[in-house]
């Protein structure tokens, strides 16, 4: 590896971090707009069913497709760095991705009755949108792994924005009167992966800068090649989905679709600040890993402290705002079909602060080589949150989830603080496959 010039490296990192932050942030804003338009133009039950559909899709794809993305991004980065042929890695990942998509598709077909009649309120249209979305979303994760592994971050950011824009266009069509009803919004959920699916054949035939080597030089690739880091990130992704998307599904299990839509909107008190924080999150991990690689221990800890202080100040501002004007602001954003009480929004604001602190400490633990410990922390906190939500200690399901989120986020922050303090201080080599994989992990967390 050639020696890096500090000034050039800083400029390169700044450009990449800004690009990823802009891409993830824009995609998040478009997604937020999608739900705002849907909430204003659908009745409470129809909107709640869209929320349940969205939550089911994104929990499934995050858990099922993340390992393949990790495999592809890691092996491509490694082979390009070694000057090896990348074709075998692409083909193997494509076969695995296709196999996972087929298995998921068959499982959804076999479980049609409980999914359609139980989860999706008997809607055949929503069921087929669920099927199409989960079956085809693997293409998006394959493309992300390819673009990340080959360091084509401009295209990666553009892909995220294109997916979110395609989804939001369906909600705009409803708002403008071009389309009508719940079906128009539901089709937007399936539109994003279908756009990416049309681009995958082009990505597969592209050749990267390492393709000049003989194919015989390349070793076979398997899913296990993703390594322990990918497995740890998978567990973290499951934990994130539990905190951010399990709430509406749990409420739907105990109540109707309209109640699920309500708790989803309340969780937007967390999602909106997380959206703002994504620019920091997407760049923090690679920044910390490079700092560790250059031996900047004091600067490393100073970055964590300053980020946590900023998170605390930001959370305090959000708390004051939601207590002052929260109910009115929520009805402006999502319509007046639901009534929002200040205590609920205040609880979520507190939980948001703990959650952002936990995200910061998670990135720090990963940068210090404590991926397994961080994953255990996420798993334990997410399990505690789910158990609390399932036990009817508090009769009101929405309030139970609100309190559970805040307490669970606090537990997560404490566990990750412990993981960060006990980490051995092992950093990842700049521009190594692990560091590129870490950058993709941070990007996926934001997306």
State the angle between helix axes of 227-254 and 371-390 in degrees (0 to 180), rounded to the nearest 10.
Answer: 10
Distance CA 276, CA 353 (A): 13
∠ CA(125), CA(126), CA(128), 5° rounding? 65
pLDDT value for 216: 41
- The angle subtended at Cα 403 by Cα 419 and Cα 330, nearest 5°, is 110
Q: Which one-letter DSSP state was computed for residue 424? A: -
Q: Which of 44, 210, 234 is nearest to 141 (CA)?
A: 234
**Which of 231, 240, 238 is closest to 409 using CA atoms?**
240
Burial class (CB in 10 A: 0-12, 13-18, 19+), 42: buried
Q: What share of the chain is helix, strand, coil (3-state, %, to 5)?
A: 85, 0, 15
Q: Residue 200 has what pLDDT?
A: 57
The Cα–Cα gap between 123 and 257 comes to 12
**Measured distance between the N- and C-terminal CA atoms of the chain, rounded to whole angstroms:** 31
Q: Which string of DSSP letters, residue by residue, matches 99-167?
A: HHHHHHHHHHHHTHHIIIIIITTT-HHHHHHHHHHHHHTHHHHHHHHHHHHTT-HHHHHHHHHHHHHHH
Mean pLDDT by 10 residues, the chain (447 residues): 44 56 75 87 88 87 78 71 74 83 91 89 91 86 79 76 87 87 88 71 51 46 51 80 83 78 81 66 57 63 83 89 87 78 88 91 78 89 92 83 93 92 59 53 49
* Residue-range domain boundaries for the chain: 6-446
Q: Strand ranges (DSSP E) for 283-442?
A: none
d(CA 444, CA 141): 10
Cα(252)–Cα(259) distance, rounded to whole angstroms? 7
Report d(CA 371, CA 133) in Å as an integer. Answer: 30
Q: Give the pLDDT of residue 320.
A: 92
The model carries a pTM of 0.71
What angle do helix axes 44-82 and 257-293 make, rounded to 10 degrees? Answer: 20
Whole-angstrom Cα distance, residue 251 to residue 245? 11
- CA distances for 208 relative to 17, 19, 68, 146, 151, angstroms: 22, 21, 19, 10, 10
Q: How far is CA 278 from CA 21, 68, 155, in A?
A: 7, 23, 18
The reported pLDDT for the residue numbered 394 is 83
Predicted pLDDT of residue 118: 84
d(CA 197, CA 203): 10
Distance between CA atoms of residues 323 and 313, nearest Å? 16
Question: Which pLDDT score is estimated for 5?
Answer: 46
Give the pLDDT of residue 201: 61
Separation of alpha carbons 63 and 42, rounded Å: 30
What per-residue confidence (pLDDT) applies to 415? 95
SS3 sequence, 65-108?
HHHHHHHHHHHHHHHHHHCCCCHHHHHHHHHHHHHHHHHHHHHH
Please give the pLDDT value at position 7: 46
Among 208, 196, 197, 176, smallest CA distance to 72 is for: 208
Distance CA 276, CA 268 (A): 12
Dist CA 63 CA 261 (whole Å):
23
For residue 223, what pLDDT is reported?
Answer: 47
């Amino acid at each position: 590896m050639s020696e890096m010039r500090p000034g050039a490296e800083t400029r390169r990192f700044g450009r990449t971090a800004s690009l990823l932050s802009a891409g993830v942030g824009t995609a998040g804003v478009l997604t937020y707009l999608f739900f705002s338009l849907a909430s204003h133009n659908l009745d409470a039950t129809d909107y709640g069913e869209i929320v349940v559909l969205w939550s089911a899709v994104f929990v499934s794809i995050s858990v099922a497709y993340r390992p393949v993305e990790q495999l592809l991004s890691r092996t491509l980065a490694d082979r390009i760095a070694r000057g090896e042929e990348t074709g075998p890695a692409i083909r193997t990942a494509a076969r695995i991705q296709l196999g996972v998509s087929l298995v998921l598709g068959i499982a959804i077909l076999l479980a049609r009755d409980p999914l359609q009649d139980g989860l999706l309120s008997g809607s055949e249209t929503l069921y087929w949108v669920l099927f199409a979305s989960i079956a085809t979303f693997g293409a998006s994760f394959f493309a992300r792994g390819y673009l990340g592994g080959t360091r084509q971050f401009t295209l990666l950011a553009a892909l995220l924005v294109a997916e979110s824009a395609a989804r939001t266009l369906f909600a705009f069509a409803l708002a403008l009167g071009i389309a009508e009803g719940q079906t128009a919004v539901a089709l937007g959920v399936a539109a994003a992966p279908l756009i990416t699916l049309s681009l995958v054949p082009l990505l597969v035939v592209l050749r990267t800068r390492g393709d000049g080597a003989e194919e015989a030089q390349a070793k076979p690739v398997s899913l296990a090649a993703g390594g322990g880091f990918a497995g740890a990130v998978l567990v973290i992704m499951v934990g994130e989905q539990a905190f951010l998307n399990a709430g509406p599904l749990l409420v739907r299990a105990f109540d109707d679709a309209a109640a699920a839509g309500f708790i989803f909107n309340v969780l937007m008190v967390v999602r909106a600040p997380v959206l703002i924080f994504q620019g920091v999150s997407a760049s923090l991990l690679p920044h910390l890993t490079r700092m560790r690689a250059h031996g900047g221990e004091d600067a490393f800890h100073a970055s964590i402290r300053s980020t946590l202080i900023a998170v605390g100040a930001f959370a305090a501002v959000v708390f004051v705002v939601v207590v002052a004007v929260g109910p009115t602001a929520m009805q402006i954003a999502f319509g007046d079909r639901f009534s929002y009480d200040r205590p609920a929004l205040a609880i979520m604001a507190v939980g948001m602060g703990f959650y952002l602190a936990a995200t910061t400490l998670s990135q720090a633990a990963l940068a210090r080589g404590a991926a397994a410990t961080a994953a255990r922390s996420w798993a334990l906190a997410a399990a505690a949150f789910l158990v609390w939500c399932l036990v009817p200690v508090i009769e009101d399901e929405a309030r139970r989830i609100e309190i559970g989120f805040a307490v669970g986020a606090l537990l997560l922050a404490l566990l990750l603080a412990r993981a960060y303090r006990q980490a051995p201080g092992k950093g990842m080599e700049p521009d190594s496959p692990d560091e590129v994989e870490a950058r993709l992990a941070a990007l996926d967390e934001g997306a």
